[in-house]
Structure 1
Amino acid sequence: MAFKSGIVFFTIVMGCLALPTPDTDLSQFFEHLDLNAQGRIVGGILAPEGSHPHMVSMCTGMRVRNLICGGSILTQRTVLTAAHCIVAVFRFGSLSSELRIRVGSNRWNNGGVMYTLSSNATHEHYESTSRKNDLGVLYTRTPIVFSETICAIALDFEHVGAEIQTRAAG
């Protein structure tokens, strides 16, 4: 009886210590989509370098960088992003001191120019549960230097009707 109990105990312990083999091929879940291995947006393609000069990436970490969110340059000192992105890096009444934005690169972890941030503003009626009014603005410590690959987004307030082709960047 003790021998059988020992085998059962050993089997349970070994089962608890077993690690699953990660499945690196997730294509079975996306068979119905035309995927490009280079695209980050499902069904998307890698944008040509410099094609979205208004885009920024928000990163934290001094030694190891972590991508938080993206945003768009509004002016030389302001960046539009989502309020939930700001909330994610807001600690003890201010932005994380490790938060940086990268501009002028299609890559979030290299190239372009890094800027530090001085403050932020979120929509006063932002609701985290429903993501209603999910708008925020980041203010840079120094002005963003515009160039061929770095500039403010052109804002357009016209209505976009049905059947109009658009594109997303992120």
Structure 2
Amino acid sequence: MPRVLTALRHAVVVSASALTLAGCAQPWQQFHAGEDQSAIIARMGQPREIHELPDGGRRLMWPTQPMGTTNVVADIDASGKIVNVRQVLQLSEFQRAQIGKWTSDEVRSNFGPPAESGFFRRSQREIWSYRYLENNITPMMYHFAFDASGVLREVMRTPDTDRDRNLRRF
């Protein structure tokens, strides 16, 4: 009898854990390719930005910059169906940007509005900075530097000193 109770307790713990993890799914993880765009708009609200894509589709965005660390993006095909939904303010997405090829327009259409922007006179570069969480833990900033014609020339990441409590004291 004790083995049966132990097995039953184990099954209850495993089931409760699975239900808890299922409840942790992020809003953008609840949509699937092929669904109508109306499903995501009903759940997420009207997008703050819409960008036309070369294939006739559209990119819908729900950014949280300047202080947030997420930007949910839904690529929609020409017929109004979801192609994919993802959170783009993360290192793997930033690393897709191609130095010397991407322009500021492409950065904006892929990542949305920056949290901060500025111009460095000495290097003649416009800098756009995006807040994100590296490994979903560490507050970071990812920076894109553009030349005078708007072409991406450099990228860099730094700690977000406004968010990281350990760095505030320095």
Report the TM-score, using the length of structure 2 for normalisation. Answer: 0.30
For CA contacts below 8 A with separation 6 or more, give which structure has more relative contact order: 1
Structure whose CA Rg is larger: 1
More strand by share: 2
- Please state which structure has a larger fraction of its residues in helix: 2
